Amino acid sequence: MPLEALRYPVTPVGLHYLLIHYDIPFVDPARFELSVGGLVARPLELSLDDLRARPAVELEVTTECAGNGRALLPGPRPVSQPWLAEAVGTAAWRGTALAPLLAEAGPVDSAREVVFTGLDRGYEGGEEQVFERSLPLEEALRDDVLLAYEMNGAPLLPQHGFPLRLVVPGWYGMAHVKWLTRITVVAEPFTGYQQAHAYRFRRDEDDEGEPLDRIWPRALMVPPGLPDFPTRERTLAAGRCRVKGRAWSGHAPIETVEFGVDGAWAPAELDAPAGRWAWRGWHAEWEATPGEHVLSCRARDEAGNTQPDEADWNVGGYANNGVQRVPVRVA
């Protein structure tokens, strides 16, 4: 998502970030079925029509790739998508809640996790894989976890998981399994590749690490002024400038955003909240004086989580929510 698209409360289609491990599957919706099985009393098979006949929910959710900021980490570049800060977006997802469906299937007493399997297949870590991730049962039973079949008022696009995807508000993108075809209730921690090997925060190669789950707070601004092609260096005129941006956290609502000029911080003005799971707009006024400046912003959430000035390197290049820095030249 080019950062000027932070202007939009809901990211226009085609500007929302994408991270796709394998090829985009080509799915015939008429033949599509979602199965719900594993450790349940009553396994289910549902067509798209079955899912659409259930009560519908629409929710604006900000989703961010766990690897956002990877290319800005100090140290050796992890081999994966070299994101700067653009791997984020907000969409209006429409679908049906997962919890009532799971309740109908009836997880048995030993149930601990729920595994979500997509139709996307490929090789990773030297093995043939399907994309699969699990959630703890209590997380899967949250009332705002959705099986989504629409995005921004239209059927899901192929690249966003057509015809069905999981939406787990507040979690990094890897949890929002696309092309969702199977839900399996299990009693043991899921050890699939995307759970046990990828998407873990590891300090070094010997560190088993911690799994990534909820999004750490981040604020971003629309870089002011005009960009250079192709360096993206920015130039603006001296004088009053309103800087706008958005901030989000998967841990708690945003409490404050600060705007910084050359290391001096001042509170930014927050816009009205747009719902618990959507990013929150903010703006700050700046009297731009001629010369070179570095603009920054940083968010704090109500749980007290903040952004580091610079994040520590980690093996996968995950969760770099270091403060955004936008160098500008004021002419």
Q: Can you give the binding site for a second copy, defined by CB under 8 A?
A: 2, 4-5, 7-8, 12-16, 18, 20-24, 26, 79-81, 121-124, 128, 157-160, 226-230, 233, 235
Residue 259 · residue 284 · CB < 8 Å? yes
Q: Which amino acid is at 314?
A: N
**Residue written as token pair 């990211």:** 11
Q: Is the dihedral of CA 179, 182, 185, 188 positive or negative?
A: negative
Tokens of 122: 């490929």
* Residue 283: alpha-carbon gap to chain centroid: 22
- Which is nearer to a second copy, 136 or 291 (by Cβ)? 291
Write the CB contacts of 16 (distance below 8 Å, at least 6 apart in sequence). 1, 63, 89, 90, 91, 160
- Which is nearer to a second copy, 4 or 262 (by Cβ)? 4
**Residue written as token pair 């009393």:** 41
Q: Shortest distance, CB of residue 140 to a second copy, whole angstroms? A: 25
What is d(CA 327, CA 227) in angstroms, rounded to the nearest whole number?
11
- Which is nearer to a second copy, 81 or 306 (by Cβ)? 81
Q: Shortest distance, CB of residue 222 to a second copy, whole angstroms? A: 9
The separation between the first and the last C-alpha atoms of the chain, rounded to the nearest angstrom, is: 28
Q: Which amino acid is at 310?
A: E
Q: Shortest distance, CB of residue 75 to a second copy, whole angstroms? A: 19
What is d(CA 246, CA 222) in angstroms, rounded to the nearest whole number?
9
**DSSP one-letter code for 310:** S
Q: Shortest distance, CB of residue 250 to a second copy, whole angstroms? A: 24
Q: Shortest distance, CB of residue 79 to a second copy, whole angstroms? A: 6
- Which is nearer to a second copy, 57 or 236 (by Cβ)? 236
- Which is nearer to a second copy, 206 or 229 (by Cβ)? 229
- Which is nearer to a second copy, 8 or 265 (by Cβ)? 8
Residue 139 · residue 115 · CB < 8 Å? no
Helix (H, G, I), strand (E, B) or coil at 198: coil
* Residue 59: alpha-carbon gap to chain centroid: 14
Q: Shortest distance, CB of residue 221 to a second copy, whole angstroms? A: 13
Q: Shortest distance, CB of residue 120 to a second copy, whole angstroms? A: 10
- Which is nearer to a second copy, 40 or 119 (by Cβ)? 119
